[in-house]
Amino acid sequence: MAIGSLSQPGPWKRGRVLTALALLLGLLLLLHAQIPNRVGNIGSLVETFLPWFGVFIPVLLAGALWRRSASSVVALLLSVVTWVSLFGGLLTDKSHPGGDLTVVSHNVDADNPDPAGTARALAGSGADLLALEELSAQAKPVYEKELAKAYPYHSVQGTVGLWSKLPLSDIRPVDTEQDVGPLGDSKPAALKLVDNRALRATVATDHGPLAVYVAHLGSVRVNPRGGFGTETRNRNAEALAKAVAAEQNKRMVLLGDMNGTTDDRALDGITSQLHSAQDKAGNGFGFSWQAKFPMVRIDQILTRGVEPQSSWVLPSTGSDHRPVAAHVSW
């Protein structure tokens, strides 16, 4: 018995594989910004699902306790501390009562089987400003009809629209393709209008004019061969960041489907200029996609010059996204 016990590795030598995995997880969380995007945009893909890497912490902890590996438990502390520093603030309720304006953004889904029901649900939210993305030509008149009573002012530019209880002015499309077609040629004016995925408007509020942008950045795809396909999204984000930088109004709100989280480095040009309502005044992660089981927040409410007081996710509609909402104040 004595010889057998001496041959057993001590608690600091057990679970070497678990220890290595714990260290790798901690380093991934700590150094995620250093993961290169050169091959398959793997860095952006990791950042999109970064909070979910925390799921591995209890799994590794259970393995470390089962193996009675002290080294694995200590190594896991790096992952715990890093994850909490990154996302711990999202676990607390940072919302405050009140707000001068309620805004809602929703990708209504071009294949939505019940646009009328979605419109009625959104009108029932009580939002002062309602931004819709992925409006199809067939569904557009349905939304216009259903929202007309609650929102006397509205504009649709291409596939995005803004409905408002307050007067709108200086409405114009925002070119997120930087005047470049698929072959590098200049886009015809008619094509710009049809394909337009962003707009800008001025909203007349009791506190003065507010610049409001509505945007739907290009879709992303995960392909086993090509990796994380983000080329269109990244190009749109760069153009939108330039439009935001050129905006003269110090008070602005950006609403829309960014097809990316605020952790994704591809949106740095936008998030470096604007604050996330969910990060500043939300309660929880605010996941908005997919609607049935949300795993990421790619629908954003971003502000500058106005303060988010609260931010939340509305119940599902007929879309594959959930609407996001926020109260903002001056």
Q: What's the burial of 132, exposed, middle or buried (CB within 10 Å: 0-12/13-18/19+)?
A: buried
pTM for the full predicted model? 0.89
User: For residue 159, what are its two tokens?
Assistant: 């596939």
User: Tokens 């408002």 sit at which residue?
Assistant: 164
Angstrom CA distances, 161 to 23, 140, 222, 255, stand at: 47, 9, 28, 11
User: For residue 148, what are its two tokens?
Assistant: 């007309």
Per-residue confidence (pLDDT) for residue 221, from 0 to 100: 87
CA distance 95 to 320: 26
Per-residue confidence (pLDDT) for residue 178, from 0 to 100: 61
Low-confidence ranges of the chain (pLDDT < 70): 1-9, 11, 178-194, 225-226
Per-residue confidence (pLDDT) for residue 222, from 0 to 100: 82
Per-residue confidence (pLDDT) for residue 14, from 0 to 100: 74
pLDDT, one tens digit per residue, over 134-193 is 999 999 999 999 999 999 999 999 999 999 999 999 999 999 986 444 434 444 443 344
Per-residue confidence (pLDDT) for residue 156, from 0 to 100: 97
The strand pairing partners of 106, in sequence order, are 132
